[in-house]
Structure 1
């Protein structure tokens, strides 16, 4: 394995954490000269004048506050992406240095040899049962046409599982190296506060609040559910999880599914219905949504009236607006005490932020 290929593997593991979601594409001074620097650019005071124009000969002013108010959502998204890039870049730099050091420690010629020994050589071929499971899941989620057979897509599944296995082995190696090296991330976290309103698990006074924006038709959101459940179980009463709706425009059934979940919430069955939807992502048509309600023992007359009336559409729209203002452009998106985490990332990424937050409260 060449030096270039080892860098590609490192990059692939880091890049994989980007491709884990469904996406759609202050200083008190008024004088800009005294504004503080933030991220290499001047963060102006809200009343700082950034432009002028004339109407009927009278000069009109545009303030920084007016400007950012107009383009607040894309600015928030840009800030989030920049923070993600900085965090991934720092993580990648540290991993690369640790891999080089470990190879040298073991007396190996280079990092390629270490990655071959720990990743390539330890990655097993997927079993028939694993291949069948992926095929069945894709079928159930409506991601494959009914006429497509296992044999037709088996090569692609084998390739996908093989690459996934290598990423997991590589990530396990990197996590082990970072743990032994006592890595500390000192990069300041940018916080974006979003209102924690909606169906919730955990005590109101929990030291950690996770606000999740999700889409019931997004496969990455379904995958993230498993991770979130693990995190909530591990931290118990230290974590409060709040769910907010963010159905994406290209997921045709997602808006009505979100409304259905809100209708179920009226009957104190949100989380049961939430789990039912994620377990049946290939069955999110209106008739399916009503059947799920019946299966869970809801008052179907009340539920059906709620769903058919569209009375929950405004609630869903309000959640989406809050998400857009916070820079959400894809799902799932999480705000852990205001710290942004995007995509179906490993539980370790949640735990890293949560542990850091808890340590500050001691």
Structure 2
């Protein structure tokens, strides 16, 4: 189903080892003509041509076990009865050549029926989209007037005699006892509201533009989206593969590549094109503005912080990093360019967030604090990440020399363990913010959304910073 690629992984697909792509002897191009689910039997029957004897099948990037296969029919295991209704991308491949793979958008309706649907249909009528005939009405759903999520802060939560306990008091106590849990729930509510706000704004903008052009919303999107679709680079497929992690069930990148490319072409590229078109509509609209205020954290200033940029910068990017985390290392490479681009408008604050159960990561964080004691944290940070390697004591000392630290002072600090309490305090601080793994980013106190796998780190930070600068400008009006 459309969404995060790993969402379907929650359904337990039973897999079997599969050989590498065989050398195909088939000459006819592979083609898929249909797919028929059997909810009771837990199978998906795929019809078409050119499948060969050992096809590889994925459904929304999740590999399926193939029960049987002929050149014109495949029967694969799929827990249809457990899968939510929606559109799924089915990909069948027999090799790596262009004619050796094909994909089809399959609509599953509660495990009852399936059929092919076009990418235009997927964009126009998928879950959460407006009806094809126009904007969503305010009372489209039966439960539109259901209970609200939260009472106002001055609402009464309880009374004991003449003592009145308000919701605000309850929230204060909740924040005191479980700050991480409180923040996590506040973020979840906000992010969900933002998603639906974004959808409603998009629907309204599309409906208004369609009306102005004398088109239906679906006709407008069919006209405007295809010219804006661009081919996704190889790096996007590689990033998506890495993002899937164990969801690939051990299959190689080359084996998964046809399914990855199909996802990027049918979902990611079209969603990017749609986002770009909506940004164009917002830019020319005089009345479109998203003002839903996100929950913000009053970030603590601690002795363990390492800082780049002036105190009064309008945008503060707080980074929670782990020297052993490859993803953090990838994003850290963009810090220099961010500072060059935004100058005194950006302040970067580093806070340690190594996994508490990994001794080497904790030791690397302690080494970072030893470098911070000599006011050379950032040179040490960059030296350590410049050549990924096992972060043992020798590598830490080598990075210290490269960064220009006093080697004797650094070695004594690292050996004594004097910076360990600061690292433990940093972990506790991250938990209070609802953060548990690196990398994590707060922009002016707001938790940054997870970066799309296809978006380079600098472009990701640019979007966050430009949005924060715009918000600062609005707040100053």
TM-score scaled to structure 1, two decimals?
0.67
Distance of 2:195 and 2:357 partners within structure 1: 28
CA RMSD of aligned residues (A): 4.3
Corresponding residue number in structure 2 for 1:173: 277
Distance of 2:405 and 2:339 partners within structure 1: 26
Corresponding residue number in structure 2 for 1:354: 469
Shift of 1:200: 0.8
Shift of 1:203: 1.4
**Structure with greater contact order relative to length (CA < 8 Å, sep ≥ 6):** 1
Moved more, 100-109 or 66-75: 100-109
Shift of 1:230: 5.0
Counterpart contact for 1:212–1:243, Cα < 8 Å:
yes
Distance of 1:282 and 1:10 partners within structure 2: 44
Matching of residues 177-256 of structure 1 within 5 Å: 177-182=281-286, 183-197=288-302, 198-225=305-332, 229-249=336-356, 253-256=360-363
State the number of aligned residues: 315
Counterpart contact for 2:317–2:346, Cα < 8 Å:
yes
Counterpart contact for 1:232–1:239, Cα < 8 Å:
yes
SS of corresponding position for 2:225: helix
Shift of 1:113: 6.7
Shift of 1:73: 1.9
Corresponding residue number in structure 2 for 1:89: 196
Matching of residues 65-144 of structure 1 within 5 Å: 66-102=173-209, 110-111=217-218, 114=221, 118=225, 122-124=229-231, 126=233, 130=235, 134=238
Q: Deviations over 1:211-257 (max 9, x none)?
A: 23233344443444456555543432133221111224577753333
Q: Deviations over 1:169-223 (max 9, x none)?
A: 4433333332223531222343220113411111123343332323334444344
Shift of 1:10: 9.1
Counterpart contact for 2:315–2:465, Cα < 8 Å:
no
More helix by share: 1
Corresponding residue number in structure 2 for 1:258: 365
Counterpart contact for 1:224–1:344, Cα < 8 Å:
no
Distance of 1:164 and 1:252 partners within structure 2: 38
SS of corresponding position for 1:94: helix
Evaluate the alpha carbon distance shift between residue 150 and residue 190 of structure 1 in structure 2; reply closer, same or farther with a 3 A threshold.
closer
Q: Deviations over 1:146-183 (max 9, x none)?
A: xx987566557656765655554443333333222353
SS of corresponding position for 1:258: helix
SS of corresponding position for 1:41: coil
SS of corresponding position for 1:352: helix
Distance of 2:408 and 2:223 partners within structure 1: 60
User: Which residues of structure 2 form unaligned runs of 5+?
Assistant: 1-117, 130-147, 161-168, 453-459
Distance of 1:100 and 1:156 partners within structure 2: 33
Distance of 1:230 and 1:108 partners within structure 2: 44
Distance of 1:176 and 1:191 partners within structure 2: 28
Counterpart contact for 2:328–2:438, Cα < 8 Å:
yes
Matching of residues 36-47 of structure 1 within 5 Å: 40-41=150-151, 43=153
Distance of 2:448 and 2:329 partners within structure 1: 16
Distance of 2:400 and 2:152 partners within structure 1: 52
Counterpart contact for 1:118–1:169, Cα < 8 Å:
yes
Distance of 1:125 and 1:342 partners within structure 2: 22
Evaluate the alpha carbon distance shift between residue 100 and residue 107 of structure 1 in structure 2; reply closer, same or farther with a 3 A threshold.
same
Distance of 2:353 and 2:376 partners within structure 1: 19
Corresponding residue number in structure 2 for 1:23: none
Shift of 1:285: 4.1
SS of corresponding position for 1:351: helix
Counterpart contact for 1:196–1:242, Cα < 8 Å:
no
